[in-house]
Amino acid sequence: MSTSTALTALLNPAVLYFMLGLGAALARSDLEVPPALSTFFGSFLLMAIGFRGGAELARALANPTLWETLAVAAFLSAGAPFYLYAVARRRFDAANAAALAAAYGSVSAVTFACAQSLLQEVSIPYHDYMNVALAAMEAPAIVTGALIYRHVSTRAEQSSGGRSAGATLSLVRLLATKGSLLLLVGSLAIGLLAGSAGWSAVKPLFGDIFKGILCFFLLDQGLRCGRQLGDLRAAGAAALLFAIAMPLVGAVLGLGLGSLIGLPQGDRFLLTVLAASASYLAVPAAMREAIPKANPGVYVTLPLAITFPFNVIVGLPLYLALASR
């Protein structure tokens, strides 16, 4: 990747607004985004990503690359918690290690949106059905992380077959009704039914103003990250290293598998970003239900305050450079 492309990545308006929010929080400014607007912006991004992916899916159902991509995406999400747990367990107890494995095996829709914005800035084409890969990677890691914890737990109530099965069914029901996942998958289904004609009708909303809404949302995320940095003091250097090293490991796996199935540059980059991202939206509610002993100050703060800014500022240019080779 050329120097100009790397500079474009860093000067992306969405990234700059994130840095503005981060700087404002560190300077203890009173700048804030009302919570209701923050929720709206997040919902808008999920709707837009899901609908566009569904509309593209309607056009690409006969494309074998689509199904290979979805199979690889689901494999990455379901399999990643195994090595993530093994690494996290060296520093954390079983509950927090499993919650971290679920968070880092799942994906960030916001990081994905930033990656799409970057590809548009540097004029690298990609298939919108990669939005379907995003949906395919959100839930499997959460289920795997919860199952790992149930397997290794020594508590009698969690080791009994009946209780474990009931708890697993409860987790599946929670994921099926989780607002962010339901909105993403539901919008994808609507886009699939509406097809190209439906996308043309909503493009002024979901396409033309998408980047503007992303800027607002990232300003809010920057503020949140800056204000949570203080919570990381107790985590220690090993936890901070985990929050940076694991996305790089995921990126290598995503890049390798994307290259193996012959994805074009733009799609390969997006799969790499998905494998490198970590969830801080879908995971918290699921972990409260599945692993109540886990500390949200660990499995929410690390992905949001460390991994997310690392990916947005450093990771995206790096992953694009790797995908370009």
Interatomic CA distance for residues 83 and 89, integer angstroms: 10
Q: Contact at 8 Å (CB) between 109 and 283? A: no
Give which of 47, 42, 41, 39 is closest to 206, Cα–Cα: 47
Structural domains for the chain: 3-323 (1.20.1530.20)
Give which of 311, 306, 299, 294 is closest to 230, Cα–Cα: 306
Indicate if the pLDDT at residue 165 is higher than 80: no
- The whole-model pTM stands at 0.82
The pLDDT-based confidence of 119 (bands split at 50, 70, 90) is very high
Indicate if the pLDDT at residue 164 is higher than 70: no
**pLDDT tens track for 248-295:** 999 999 999 999 999 999 999 999 999 999 988 777 767 877 788 888
More confident site: 155 or 175:
175
- Mean pLDDT of the 69-73 span: 94
Average of per-residue pLDDT values in the chain: 85
Q: Based on C-alpha coordinates, what's the Rg of the chain?
A: 19
Predicted local distance difference test score (pLDDT) of residue 174 = 61
Give which of 91, 81, 26, 98 is closest to 237, Cα–Cα: 91
Indicate if the pLDDT at residue 311 is higher than 90: yes
The top-scoring range by mean pLDDT among 43-57, 59-73, 255-269, 283-297 is 255-269
- Let me know if 157 is exposed, middle or buried by CB neighbors in 10 A (0-12, 13-18, 19+): exposed
More confident site: 57 or 2:
57
Indicate if the pLDDT at residue 85 is higher than 90: yes
Interatomic CA distance for residues 163 and 169, integer angstroms: 10
DSSP state of 154: -
Indicate if the pLDDT at residue 182 is higher than 70: yes
Q: Contact at 8 Å (CB) between 140 and 255? A: no
Predicted local distance difference test score (pLDDT) of residue 158 = 45
Interatomic CA distance for residues 170 and 288, integer angstroms: 12
Interatomic CA distance for residues 275 and 271, integer angstroms: 6
The pLDDT-based confidence of 177 (bands split at 50, 70, 90) is low
Indicate if the pLDDT at residue 23 is higher than 80: yes
Could you tell me the CA-to-CA distances from 94 to 34, 91, 126, 142, 239 in Å, in that order?
A: 36, 10, 39, 15, 15
More confident site: 273 or 182:
273
Count of CA atoms in the C-beta half-sphere (13 A) of 60:
22
The angle subtended at Cα 286 by Cα 189 and Cα 90, nearest 5°, is: 125
Q: Both tokens of residue 97?
A: 């290690």
Predicted local distance difference test score (pLDDT) of residue 156 = 40
Could you tell me the CA-to-CA distances from 151 to 83, 162, 278 in Å, in that order?
A: 15, 13, 23
